[in-house]
Amino acid sequence: MIDQFHRGRRARRERWVLGLFDTQYTPARPYLQLVRRRNAATLLPIIQRNVRVGSIVHSDEWAAYRQLQRRLGLHHGTVNHSLHFVDPATGVHTQHAESNWSSAKTKFKVMKGNSNPNFLLEYLQEFMWRRWYGDTHPNGCFKRLLQDIAEQYPL
């Protein structure tokens, strides 16, 4: 893997994940989707399906995001990460997204090699389910899972 200083080796088959994080909730609710390309033609339709018109979106200045406001009707603020973590003029930052990515990656690292790259989609889905439903359940993830199973398969 190539680190932040551009050292190392590239993975044989890179996998890209688009992450959208709804910060109205604590913890933020993620929507994570595997994508083949990181271009506007791939990313904008996914964002359009999952983000309400009029929403406020903060992102870095990746070229594919430049059309969010004009084409999708989103209020789009950006931060140039090569200069700042938080834009000094606007206060725009992507720290909610960075924090959520860190949590997801930590979850995978805790598995200590017991993860299989072929199951990345399933790992992402589990992370999303836990953040949306399990972590917020008063009795925890396991009780929520049992409740969901009972609703799907009533006796």
Higher per-residue pLDDT: 47 or 105: 47
Among residues 124, 110, 92, the alpha carbon closest in space to that of 15 is found at 124
Is the bond leading into 45 cis (omega within 30 degrees of zero)?
no
Cite the DSSP H helix spans in the chain: 40-50, 68-72, 95-110, 120-129, 140-152
Q: What is the pLDDT of residues 8-38, one digit of tens each?
A: 555 556 788 888 988 888 888 889 999 999 8
Q: What is the pLDDT of residues 49-68, one digit of tens each?
A: 999 988 889 888 888 888 88
Residue 147 has pLDDT above 60, yes or no: yes
Q: What share of the chain is helix, strand, coil (3-state, %, to 5)?
A: 45, 20, 40
> What is the pLDDT, as a whole number, of residue 8?
55
End-to-end CA distance of the chain: 48
Q: What is the pLDDT of residues 96-144, one digit of tens each?
A: 888 888 888 777 777 666 666 777 888 888 888 888 887 777 788 888 8
> What is the pLDDT, as a whole number, of residue 49?
93
Q: Residues 6 or more apart from 100 whose CB is under 8 A from it?
A: 19, 21, 27, 28, 30, 131
Count CB neighbours of 65 within 10 A. Answer: 20
pTM of the model: 0.72
Q: Residues 6 or more apart from 92 whose CB is under 8 A from it?
A: 58, 77, 78, 79, 86
